[in-house]
Amino acid sequence: MHIGRMLIMTLILGLFGQFYANAEQPLKLEAKEGFYQFPFFDTQTAVWSYNDQIPGPLIRGRVGTTLVIDFANRLKEPSSIHWHGLRIENAMDGVPGVTQDPVGPGENFTYRLKLEDAGTFWYHPHFNSSEQLERGLKGVFIVEEAEKQPWSQDWVWLMDDWLFQKDGTIYPHFNTGRDLMHDGRWGNAPTINGNFRPEYQAKPGERIRLRIINGANARVFSPHIEGLSANIIAVDGRPVTKIFVLDRFVLSPGNRIDLDIRIPEQSGGKIFIVEDRFTRKAFELASIKVDQSEPIKSPKFIPPTEANFIPAQMFEKVKGEKTWDLNAIRGGKFGIGWTMNQKLWPDADKVDYPLGLPRKIIFKNSSSRLHPMHIHGVFFRVLERNGQKAVEQFTRDTVLVGPRESVTIGFVPEHTGIWLTHCHIQEHAEAGMMTTIEVKN
Ligand code: C2O
Ligand code: CU
């Protein structure tokens, strides 16, 4: 099946289930097998989902509150939920074998999440992840700011990428040699919130916050909006140090960006195309249709920035750094293993850090593949690329390390516990590319 050959359908974005949560009312997330109607096929596709929704329910909670989430595993295999990017208590981080036991079939686990940071986050399993995420288990988690935000609309786009067979089923072989020799499992059908090329409606003059989350197993996106000015105001759930224009931003699996989009007052009737430009052949992701109504008065405000959040200067005096060499070996459970310092998870080259002291890490990619490296429970700042100063105007929790590239990051361990650190290409992680950072008081 080929996207170009598919019937192009105009899909009106369906409202997908949304939870407004507070501590008194626990949310229930039930992982189970079910079906979903994709626009590409006449038949429904067997999927695994949370609460029968693709993607899972959009969770919204307010910063400073505590959310209680009752996870019910109704799959035929163990699972867990990890809250990607949230700084929470280690015991709630959702990593089987590290922070909790796997949640077995028929079992439940209650997550209590104290929401420390406002921003765009997401959740997904951390067990047999290359298969569980690919079959549909993932959702967006928004932590709302304390005050109501001035944007006229708040759009949430969970990007995904499915590998279908002609008959409309999900290609059932995972962690194949092909996936492992390359940049993981890339699909043949990109979706936004489970829809193909959705059309979004805007009014002239609107100012829209668009949150884009890359929830794909392996595909990297680089969203571009033709003809519209869009500023990046947050990366990986944190306001940026300095607002900048969206231009070839690389959104690797795990990454998020929040955009501030202005719909010009003179644009009634126009359609703006959002396309992906990461691969050589650009393709359409979505469109934004401006209606013919009277222009609305555009809200005037400057989105907040965070100039003082883990600034680069903090790491100038840090002596020494941990280097993790990223490479492949023969062996491991799939015949090809992905290593960090020649070791395969769980026999990993781990590191211990004291609480509160700035630390530097180098991810040194000795392979010719992509590795979006993610650290649980912290935000970090990119300081150098290939030994050259390359301070970014924002912090992250996931950084794409390109072929033969080395990336130096700085961060301050602020929560005790054992924090997983891994490649977010799910197939690479499953094939061994994981370790931990243990933070002790
Ligand atoms: Cu989305 Cu271990 O992470
Ligand atoms: Cu990788």
**Amino acid occupying residue 124:** H
Main-chain dihedrals φ then ψ at residue 29, nearest 5 degrees: -115, 120
Q: Residue 63: how many CB atoms within 10 A of its CB?
A: 15
Predicted TM-score (pTM) of the model is: 0.95
Please identify every residue whose CB atom is under 5 Å from ligand 2, which is an ion: 371, 423, 425, 428
Question: Burial level of 440, CB count in 10 A (0-12/13-18/19+)?
Answer: exposed
Residues of the chain with pLDDT under 70: 1-24
Residue 420: CB within 6 Å of ligand 1? yes
Q: Residue 437 corresponds to which tokens in the numbers above? A: 């950072």
pLDDT (0 to 100) of residue 21: 56
pLDDT (0 to 100) of residue 12: 26
pLDDT (0 to 100) of residue 26: 83
- The whole-angstrom separation of Cα 101 and Cα 131 is 19
**Chain segment 307-348, per-residue pLDDT in tens:** 999 999 999 999 989 999 999 999 999 999 999 999 999 999
The alpha carbon of residue 263 and the mean position of all alpha carbons in its chain are separated, in whole angstroms, by 26
**How many CA atoms does the CB half-sphere of 317 hold within 13 Å?**
2
Who's near 330: CB < 8 A, 6+ residues apart? 336, 337
Q: Residue 381 corresponds to which tokens in the numbers above? A: 């700042």
CB 218 within 8 A of CB 183: yes
pLDDT (0 to 100) of residue 23: 52
Residue 256: CB within 6 Å of ligand 1? no
The alpha carbon of residue 346 and the mean position of all alpha carbons in its chain are separated, in whole angstroms, by 23
CB 407 within 8 A of CB 401: yes
- The whole-angstrom separation of Cα 216 and Cα 278 is 14
pLDDT (0 to 100) of residue 278: 97
pLDDT (0 to 100) of residue 313: 96
pLDDT (0 to 100) of residue 4: 38
Radius of gyration of the chain (CA): 21
- The whole-angstrom separation of Cα 75 and Cα 106 is 7
Residue 101 CA to ligand 2 center (angstroms) comes to 25
pLDDT (0 to 100) of residue 20: 58
Residue 237 CA to ligand 2 center (angstroms) comes to 22
